Amino acid sequence: MAPAEIAGACSFRESFRGRQVYRWIARGASSFDEMSDLAKSERERLAALFPRLYSSEPAAELEDADGSLKIQLRLRDGAAVECVLLEDIEGRKTACLSSQVGCPMACAFCKTGTLGYLRNLGPDEIMEQFHLLQKRRGEISNVVFMGMGEPLLNLGAVRKAVAILTDPEGIGLSARKVTISTCGLVPGILDLARNGPKVRLAVSLTTANEELRSELMPVNRTHGLAELKAALLEYQAATGERITLEAALMGGRNSRPEDARALVRWVRPLQVQVNLIPWNRVPGLPFVEPTREELEAFLDILEDSGLVASRRMRRGRGVMGACGQLGDTLRSE
């Protein structure tokens, strides 16, 4: 909740009390008892009204050897969702947050896409993932909506979460430290372009081959590559921001030199950074990782064309917490 909403829900006579509670929650308070600038009688009244400050609770926690942390949260209705904390070699911590229980987009190479879709998360359930990860690992510097679900199908809740994350009286993150990732949902991209928030945008492109993308990513059957590119051009014109394109590479499927050249042709004149992600193994899915030679040849073609491209560092694979693996609480063998 925003401060004014908290003031109303708590029946405060003074509006500034809402801001006090808001700031305490932003700092990670677990109960009203911790809110020391409220009178004891007021804390007791609020604790009686709201016995639990959080609606979800951790059901499973897995730590990878690389320092990554994956947490499964049990929600108020018994559903489960996962979030991940990734730490780079310089110690910067990134929270990977989910926006839906399951995912309706059914991308063929993604574990979450095999689960089906149950419901959207509320902004409270999104923020509780952030708070829990921060309590476990300390200050978080970046947030990416790249967890379970398609954020642009739950844009209202995501917008409210972003507003709280970037509020100077709340979490206080810079909007440039927040990324919304989409599989290419054109109406949502246009909504972001026209109505904000002005955060970073990442798009899972995977391939610039129309037929193959439709096979791997059903969204392409509704919003094809030409429509997606037009939406990204409008987004770039409205925001002036460089877009990140994600390409999960699967050996022998979309990792060939001709796939790289097709991507180069499709990108122009967009200003992008391309992240190459070697496919992360998901048991039961009919794909293999690209060889090192495939990956390096693909990257060379992109760089030789003048594109800004990099290979994504692998984090969280040991706990099924890497890109495309969420929805399985088991450790990877």
Q: pLDDT at position 89, please?
A: 82
- Active-site residue flag, 323: yes
Q: pLDDT at position 331, please?
A: 41
The segment(s) of the chain belonging to CATH 1.10.150 are: 1-53
Q: Show the CA angle centred on residue 282, arms to residues 280 and 283, nearest 5°.
A: 145
- 1-53: CATH topology is DNA polymerase; domain 1 (1.10.150)
- Active-site residue flag, 183: no
Q: Which residues of the chain have pLDDT under 70?
A: 313-314, 328-333
Convert the pLDDT of each residue in 45-73 to its tens digit: 999 999 999 999 999 999 998 889 999 99
The 10 Å CB-count burial string (b at 16+, else e) for 293-316 is ebbeebbebbeeeebebeeeeebb
Query: Is residue 218 reached through a cis peptide bond, with omega within 30 degrees of 0 on the bond before it?
Result: no
Cα(293)–Cα(72) distance, rounded to whole angstroms? 36
The segment(s) of the chain belonging to CATH 3.20.20.70 are: 55-319
Of 10, 96, 103, 323, which residue is the catalytic one?
323
> What letter would DSSP give residue 218?
T
Task: Select from 2.30.42.10, 3.10.20.30, 3.20.20.70, 2.60.40.1580 the CATH code of 55-319.
Answer: 3.20.20.70
pTM: 0.94
Alpha carbon separation from 239 to 160, 213, 231 (Å, rounded): 20, 27, 12
> Minimal CA–CA distance to 226: which of 259, 266, 261?
266
The 10 Å CB-count burial string (b at 16+, else e) for 14-31 is eeebbbbbbbbbbeebee
Of 10, 63, 82, 87, which residue is the catalytic one?
82
Q: pLDDT at position 152, please?
A: 98
Rg for the chain, CA atoms, rounded: 21
